[in-house]
Amino acid sequence: MFCRFLLTHLRSPGEVLDAWTHHGQRLQVGAVLEDGFAGSGWRLVESQRRLLEKPAGDMAELHLANLRTWRDDEYAQRAFDSDEIAALEISLGRIASRREDGGLVFNAARQIIAQRG
C-alpha cells in the first residue's frame, strides 16, 4: 500500500502504530484484503493482481533502508544472526550501488480501488 497522510485518517493512530511495532505484519495481504471490505462502510470497485518488474538495484535500495531501520530493534537482535545481517547489508549495498548486477525482481501486488458507501 502506498499512502499519503494515512495516519491522519485513522481513528486511533497511536494504537495502530503500537500494533505495527509488535511485528505482527502479514505478508501477502492482497490475497485476503478483499474480504476486509465487507461491513466496513467501503465498497470494492476494482481489485486486480498486477505483475511488477523492478530492477534489483531499486529493490535493494528499498530493502537496505528497511534493514538499517530494524536491524538494531530488540526483536531483530534476538531473532536474527548479527553476522548474517551484516553480510546481507553488504550484499544489498553492492546491488543498490549497482556494483553488482542483481538482474530484475518480479512480484505481484494487489491494486484495489474502493469508495465509501
- Band (pLDDT 50/70/90 cuts) for residue 18 is confident
Domain ranges of the chain: 7-116
pLDDT reading at 40 higher than 80:
yes
pLDDT reading at 11 higher than 60:
yes
Looking at residue 22, what is its pLDDT?
A: 72
Amino acid of residue 95:
I
pLDDT reading at 82 higher than 60:
yes
- CA distances for 39 relative to 8, 25, 28, 45, 114, angstroms: 22, 23, 22, 15, 13
For the record, the C-alpha cell of 65 comes out as: 533502508
pLDDT reading at 2 higher than 70:
no
The H helix count followed by the E strand count for the chain is 5, 2
What's the predicted TM-score (pTM) here?
Answer: 0.65
Strand-pair partners of 50: 109
Question: Higher confidence at residue 73 or residue 13?
Answer: 73
Map residue 91 onto helix, strand or coil.
Answer: helix
Looking at residue 4, what is its pLDDT?
A: 60
Strands 104-116 and 42-55: antiparallel
